């Protein structure tokens, strides 16, 4: 058991105790006709502010504030604890009142996007390693451009050397679309095999109409297509890992703003 796993276990135990304590407090307070929502609300607001510091920590990665893996563990467990405290604070899954419902929607979207981001950050790196291909995200457009030029050169060479335009027509009608840009984004992101099936079907469709000489060029094109599929896979996975924060961070900022306004309104009417 490594240090990070140990930290996770400790944090989960602490989080469970934290939620149990506030659930007990809220239940006893309600029985005694108290108002536990004030305490749980302020604690939830403070917890959300604490979770927001994780983004600041990532921007200050050069400052020795502890390992980022530990910060991530605190952020993940704290996020789940915030969800539990939210249920305790509202008393149900879906609160009443238009403003409270809007806040709940944004809060749930933040939670969902956070869980989604955590999952892909754990799964995608392992899947990328299995492709046995390393490529920098910013280099992908250039790599695809080179593959497109190679595929066109192979097609032209086939026509010139064999005197047949069958492969060229197949390229213009089918393969040209495939080599233009990344394809099958959703399938790659979800771990599907749509690209592989499409490549195999494309190969089998035209192969029966080609001579032995032409089929050698088709095999070269097929190799390029399979290599491009790996690049497309990297593009899909790296895009998801790179851009999911574009949804999570703005949603987190929105929920903090809504909670802050909620605190102000509650205190004004409480006076």
* DSSP-assigned states of every residue in 4-51: HHHHHHHHHHHHHHHHHHHHHHHHHHHHTT--HHHHHHHHHHHHHHHH
Per-residue pLDDT at 5: 73
Give the sign of the dihedral formed by CA 33, CA 267, CA 20, CA 111: positive
Report helix, strand or coil for 248.
Answer: helix
For residue 125, pLDDT beyond 80: yes
Give the sign of the dihedral formed by CA 13, CA 19, CA 25, CA 30: negative
Question: How many CB atoms lie under 10 A from the CB of residue 67?
Answer: 12
Per-residue pLDDT at 200: 96
Per-residue pLDDT at 51: 86
How many residues comprise the chain? 271
Report helix, strand or coil for 3.
Answer: helix
For residue 4, pLDDT beyond 90: no
Per-residue pLDDT at 64: 55
pLDDT in tens, 61-96: 555 566 667 778 888 899 999 999 999 988 888 888
Q: Where are the beta strands (DSSP E) in 149-258?
A: none
For residue 112, pLDDT beyond 70: yes
For residue 138, pLDDT beyond 60: yes
């Amino acid at each position: 058991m490594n240090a990070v796993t140990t930290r996770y276990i400790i944090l989960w135990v602490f989080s469970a105790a934290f939620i149990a304590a506030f659930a007990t407090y809220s239940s006893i307070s309600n029985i005694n006709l108290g108002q536990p929502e004030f305490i749980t609300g302020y604690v939830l607001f403070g917890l959300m502010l604490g979770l927001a510091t994780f983004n600041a920590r990532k921007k200050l990665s050069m400052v020795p504030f502890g390992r980022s893996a530990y910060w991530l563990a605190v952020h993940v467990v704290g996020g789940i604890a915030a969800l539990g405290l939210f249920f305790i604070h509202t008393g149900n899954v879906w609160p009443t009142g238009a403003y409270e419902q809007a806040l709940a929607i944004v809060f749930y979207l933040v939670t969902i996007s956070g869980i989604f981001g955590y999952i892909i950050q754990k799964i995608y790196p392992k899947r990328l390693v299995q492709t046995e291909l390393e490529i920098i995200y910013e280099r992908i457009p250039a790599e695809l451009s080179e593959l497109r030029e190679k595929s066109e050169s192979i097609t032209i060479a086939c026509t010139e050397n064999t005197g047949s335009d069958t492969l060229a027509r197949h390229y213009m009608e089918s393969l040209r679309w495939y080599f233009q840009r990344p394809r099958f984004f959703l399938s790659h992101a979800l771990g599907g095999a749509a690209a592989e099936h499409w490549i195999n079907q494309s190969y089998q469709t035209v192969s029966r109409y080609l001579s032995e000489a032409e089929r050698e060029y088709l095999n070269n094109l097929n190799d390029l297509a399979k290599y491009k599929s790996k690049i497309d896979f990297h593009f899909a996975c790296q895009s998801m890992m790179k851009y999911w924060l574009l949804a999570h961070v703005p949603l987190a900022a929105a929920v903090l703003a809504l909670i802050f306004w909620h605190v102000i309104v509650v205190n004004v009417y409480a006076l």
